[in-house]
A and B are shown apart, each in its own frame.
Chain A
């Protein structure tokens, strides 16, 4: 009975999710850099178009590390990291469903605010050392072996990959 209820709950929450998935088919995005559009989600697939940094795109779907997008000059697949979800800061009027829901507003410029915050600097400065909590935190410390066992249980295999370096010409 309990299980049945749980399944029913999961199912009923999935339905709106699926609908949301469809409507997000029209999710807006913007290009973080100049890049090419490809016919398939592979680096060596045929180039079908291109877009420029800042250009608005329509995100059709995501597959692994790739996004299928529609630009003003055609559609195709592009690396996930070349696109930012939500609209470019210059055209907030056309903000997508997600952006509106999350309350994104204004120019997108970050300005340090001095308003009321959750975990504020003031709160943190006034905080008193809590020995008991640190001890609890420390009690959760795991050995490297425990970490390895956890990875194995999830079929995680460590791979060779060199640390990423700063892009030539700086980060901007």
Chain B
């Protein structure tokens, strides 16, 4: 084995690990338990692989090996770019990270082969996103081949919903509400923040550089019960926040404001034993709790809004 191919294999291991870590947190972003478990698991895996990799292929002193590994881990995160600024990623970095995640999601479930559908969803999504605090992002929306009921957002404006969820929608206002919720996750950088926290922790936990080693005590404390608690409260509140903002964006866009609430009503009637909502229920508070929270936030603020449109007449019906 030439040193060159060794390097490649290390790089690809890093890349795979990164991707599974990213995906794990994409899924876990709302659920404390799963986020916490994923976090722990990913960290453990990372450390174990790191050790295995070193004994397999490295003979240099630990310290040197560690710092090169750290640099590689860092550079592989941004694919072709030299380094990814995890502490304060730029919009371009955020988008490239989102692209990576979206590409993996699409690897599991491709786009529905219906250009008219995709165009329609992008039209609604683009208009709703223009009412958000980040209208300048290159927003992209897609319906993916899955009968599950779920929707996903990745940093930088990549948003996908399943065909199963789309099928449950009855009008454009409901679609606007669902997309609004996902747009809000991107605007508030909910996923990005989870990834940043995880990545910074993982870089530290691997004891890859002196800079992070110093904070070791703090880190192991965070990986313990502390991380679980912070992940829990952050994620649950992030979902409620996305509901409030999603409703707000759709309302500003001129839609009937209750679209998202109606979808939550529908989801609330699914059994938690139903496989198609298993992941959604695991990663979000129960729809009933979300409705109650939304209802409390709304109060009387929607009473005077009577001009909102549902536009069922132009709602694109799946073939």
Name A residues whose Cβ lies closer than 8 Å to a Cβ of B.
32-33, 43, 64-65, 79-82, 84-86, 89, 98-99, 102-106, 108-113, 115-121, 123-131, 133-134, 136-138, 140-144, 146-148, 150-151, 154-167, 171-172
Contact = CB atoms under 8 A, between A and B. Distances in A.
Interface size class on chain B is 35 or more
B126 A158 contact: no
Contact of B103 (A117, A121, A134, A154): A134
Contacts of A163: 244-245, 248
A144 B127 CA distance: 7
A89 B292 CA distance: 14
B282 A112 contact: yes
Nearest to B117: A140
A167 B240 CA distance: 11
Q: Which secondary structure dominates where chain A touches chain B?
A: loop
Interface of B: 19-20, 23-24, 26-27, 31, 33-34, 99-100, 102-111, 115, 118-119, 122-124, 126-127, 129-131, 135, 138-142, 146-148, 150, 158, 160, 162, 164, 172, 237, 240-241, 244-245, 247-248, 251-258, 261, 265, 268-276, 278-279, 281-282, 286, 288-289, 291-303, 305-307, 309, 311, 314
Nearest to B148: A118
A172 B130 contact: no
30 contacts: A65-B303, A82-B295, A85-B268, A86-B269, A103-B270, A103-B274, A106-B273, A113-B272, A113-B273, A113-B278, A118-B164, A119-B109, A121-B27, A121-B279, A130-B110, A133-B107, A134-B102, A137-B102, A141-B138, A147-B129, A150-B126, A151-B253, A154-B311, A156-B254, A161-B252, A164-B248, A165-B297, A166-B241, A167-B293, A171-B296
A130 B106 contact: yes
B105 A157 contact: no
B296 A167 contact: yes
Given A32-B288, A65-B258, A140 B118 contact: yes
Nearest to B131: A158
Given A106-B272, A154-B314, 13 more contacts: A32-B291, A84-B288, A86-B268, A111-B272, A121-B24, A124-B23, A134-B102, A141-B139, A144-B126, A158-B252, A158-B254, A164-B248, A171-B296
Nearest to A64: B306
A139 to B, nearest CB: 9
A30 B93 CA distance: 46
B288 A127 contact: no
A115 B278 contact: yes
> Which of A81, A99, A133, A159 has the most CB atoms of chain B within a 10 A radius of its CB?
A81
Given A32-B292, A128-B104, A159-B307, A151 B146 contact: no
